[in-house]
Amino acid sequence: MNAQAPGAPTEAPTCYRHPDRETYVRCTRCDRYICPDCMRDAAVGHQCVECVREGNRTVRQPRTVFGGQVSATPVITYTLIALNVLAYVAQISRPRLVGEFMMVGVFTDRFGFVHPGGVADGEWYRLITAAFLHSPPDGGSFGITHILFNMWALWVIGPQLERVLGHWRFITLYLLSALGGSVLLYLVDPAGAAVGASGAIFGLFGAFFVIAKRMNAPAGGIVFLLVLNLVITFTVPGISWEGHVGGLLVGGALAAAYAYVPAAREQDGRRTVLHAAAGAAMLVLLVALVVVKTSQLAGMTAL
């Protein structure tokens, strides 16, 4: 049996990640030797890089009251505002963009004859692209105030909803509300034309009211704003009430699904799945309505 001779020098311990570096500090979690470059401060002593990384995986990320990831910056709201403004600049420089991307189900002339074009002719993109266009500066009684009001409302309400819902729930709510406004216009008045983010904005109004009631927060301000805008919608000529009401209905319904799904901590995973399913179900419903209406219009034009 070999034994180390008394007084013989012992081999100095080295870092497990850097074998050429001597160290006498151990990771308080895995007990391996670590050098200064591999040390990470812990509540007691130091931990190695791998233990810190593994620990971070098991730390529960903070969530909003409705299950979204906590974020201090409403990046989706700011992105939507930027896209609307860029689209407005583009349509001013090229006015024909409005006719190419506005919401219209079918094109009809003054004699009532239907011409190719519109959603019924396969241009489904109009259901969404119209929500990023607005009345041009010389657009009659609205003009630039159209985009100014919508962007003001998005700036005021958007960040609050985005912080409560999280990014993906908020963008889903916004886009489906915009789509809902276009779909109701298509169902009621397929020959009607419309542009603007108002359907999406009304969807945010409806969602804000539902969530405020769910959280027992004051809702008087949003009720006043909503009632005022509905009065304007039905009294001022030239406004697509279908777009506003459609967005309001979709936004309120989707927000109700977000707000009233069980919120117990152990059900966070299931809640996320149910929220995603609610958005998918709403999309399927809206698409189905468009398909049915398109089929009806095809039968009418074939006569």
Q: Which residues are part of the catalytic machinery? A: 198, 244
CA atoms within 13 A on the CB side of 104: 17
CB 271 within 8 A of CB 257: no
CB 239 within 8 A of CB 233: yes
- In angstroms, how far is the first alpha carbon of the chain from the final one? 105
CB 279 within 8 A of CB 176: yes
Looking at residue 100, the DSSP 8-state letter turns out to be: H
Measured distance CA(60)–CA(52) in Å, rounded: 14
SS3 content of the chain, % helix, strand, coil (to 5): 60, 5, 35
3-state secondary structure of 135: coil
Looking at residue 40, the DSSP 8-state letter turns out to be: E
Q: Which helix (H) or strand (E) holds 115?
A: strand 114-115
Measured distance CA(205)–CA(157) in Å, rounded: 8
Rg of the chain taking only CA atoms, in angstroms: 29
CB 177 within 8 A of CB 200: yes
